[in-house]
Every structure is written in C-alpha cells, then in structure tokens.
Amino acid sequence: MLTILPEDLPHRERHQMMLGAVAPRPVAFVASMNGNGDTNLSPFSFYNAYSSKPPIVAIGPAVAARTGRIKDTWLNIIETGECTISSVSYSMTHQMNIAAAEYPNGVDEFVKSGFSKGASTIVKPPFVAESPMAMECKLMESIELRRDISGNGNIILLEVVAFHISDSVLVNGKIDPRRMDLIGRMGFGYYTRTTELFEAGQPPHLCIGFDALPDHIRTSEILSGNDLARLAYVPVLPMLDGSFPQFETNFRADSVEIELLANNPMGALFAMLELGMQRDRALRHRIAKVFIANDQINEAWQVLLLE
C-alpha cells in the first residue's frame, strides 16, 4: 500500500485525494443572501449532519487556494447568519452544475440555473423549490481551519430551524430514499446516484464476532469479509441440526454448478448430498455463500457445519 504525506502533494492533488477518500458525500445546495438582499446559490460537497437535538449540519466553504477568492456563501452567512440547504436529486444535477460556476458578484444563480425560489418561513434566503427536501438554517459557529499554516478551509455549523419536505417522497409519513433519488459526490467529476439500495441494519443483540467463528470458516478463501460478518451477527454459535436439510420427496436438482449459477443454493445442496460430496469444504463454502447472499443465514451455518 502506498503511503503519501499531505505536504508532499500539490494542493490540487491533495484536494482530489480527499475527495476520492471521503466519498460519496451528500451535496448541500446552499442559498444565502447578503445585507443588500442579493441571493447566491452554490453547491457544496463538504457537508454532513452532526446532531439531531438540536439538528445541526455543517458545510465547508473554502477560500480558493489559487485565487484567494472568498466564497460568497461564507461571506453571506457570516454577515446575515442565515441560509437554506436544499437536497439535490438526480434530475437537478446539470442545473446544479450551472449554479456552481463562479459568476461575478450580484449574479443570481437561481436565474442562471433555471431553478425556482421557494419561500422560507423563518429565514430570509429562499430554498430550491424543485428540491425534494430543504432546510432553513441559522449560523451557530464558524471555524477557520489552520490559518496558522495558510489553511484555506472553514467549517460553518448551522442549526436547522425548519424542514420542507415534498409530499411525493413520503411513504406512510417516512422519507423514501428511492423517491428522493439523491446524488452523492465522488472524486474528480464523478457522482453516484442513490437508486441501488441495500439494507444493513445493525443486529439488535450482541454478536459472537469474528473471533468466535470456527477456524475453518474464519480462514475461508471463498467467504468474503462481508460474508463472515453476516455469520458473526448471530447471538450464539449455532450447532449442527440433525434434521437439516429436509427436502420434499419429489425434489429434483441439476448439477451443483448449474444450481449455483441459477442462485439456487438448496438445489446445489441437494445435488452435493446426492453425490456424497458433503466433505468437500470448498464446495460447502460456495453453497453457503449463496445462502448468505439470499439472507438465509441459518441455512448457511448448517451447510458450513456439515461434515
């Protein structure tokens, strides 16, 4: 593994190293106003949530390292203490990029990018009406990052004082991430889209952990770290169930390989037992891996325990 010290990289390469390492990042579409009432709209991917009581988010508007130009967003929030943050859905991506350009002072990025202004209820800056969700925010604290070594970063902590949520993204009163269809920023010009979702809820109990896995399972060359973790989720180490497996009298299966390709671990198990190959540890691990992928953790354990 390559080791690189930050001070050995030019700023641009160091910046991209950070963007590639901390990804994907949500995008804050921040609207702010200066004391004259001029509106600014700009996206930030140095952004996240840090508290829910009270709700606190933070953005990181940096001073441009090349030009020394200070972001209008930062100046406006420091001056007025207010802003809005709108979520960015996939359908907003390219309009958002138009708003990201460095226009001269006084140019309204809402107009340039074709977005509509939604009326806030507590703060003065509007939010992006096309966004599925927006938050009204007030300044909590602004932190300059390492100015003693010419650092150009900032953290602005913001307290959320109002939420605006589109009815279209709510299902039974809860936000449906599929309907939000948000984007996340990666390194360089890459983004990701949150349409491919999976669940990975934390177990409601203490897990046995990796250290409790039998050696022949823990050192498997077939089961991945994720596979082993799913096995290690259980609250107690399983024992071999003498009644496993049970098949209907008319159960039929093709070869082990065909059944594995068909994502049918029970068929593969049947074929393996028919051939008397239950002592083939690698084959058992391959079948268990498909059971794990199908969320059949108990079945996976039983296959692994067969000898």
What does 139-187 look like in DSSP terms, one character per residue? EEEEEEE-GGGT--EEEEEEEEEEEEE-GGGEETTEE-HHHH-BEEE-S
pLDDT digits (tens, 9 = 90+) for 184-203: 999 888 999 988 888 888 88
Peptide bond into 61 cis (omega under 30): no
Q: How confident is the model at residue 208 (pLDDT cuts 50, 70, 90)?
A: very high
Domain locations in the chain as residue ranges: 6-193, 210-305
% of the chain residues with pLDDT over 90: 82
Q: What pTM did the predictor assign?
A: 0.84
What is the identity of the amino acid at 294? N
| Cβ-based neighbour number of residue 292 at 10 Å | 24
Q: How confident is the model at residue 104 (pLDDT cuts 50, 70, 90)?
A: confident
Q: What angle do CA 135, 139, 141 make, to 5 degrees?
A: 130
Q: What is the mean pLDDT of residues 10-16?
A: 88
Q: How far is Cα 30 from Cα 178, in angstroms, rounded to an integer?
A: 23
Q: How far is Cα 134 from Cα 115, in angstroms, rounded to an integer?
A: 14
pLDDT digits (tens, 9 = 90+) for 217-246: 999 999 999 999 999 999 999 999 999 999
Q: Is the model's pLDDT at 147 over the cut of 90?
A: no
Architecture of domain 6-193: Roll (2.30)
User: Taking a C-beta distance cutoff of 8 angstroms, is the pair 196, 90 a contact?
Assistant: no
Q: Is the model's pLDDT at 102 over the cut of 90?
A: no
What is the identity of the amino acid at 54? P
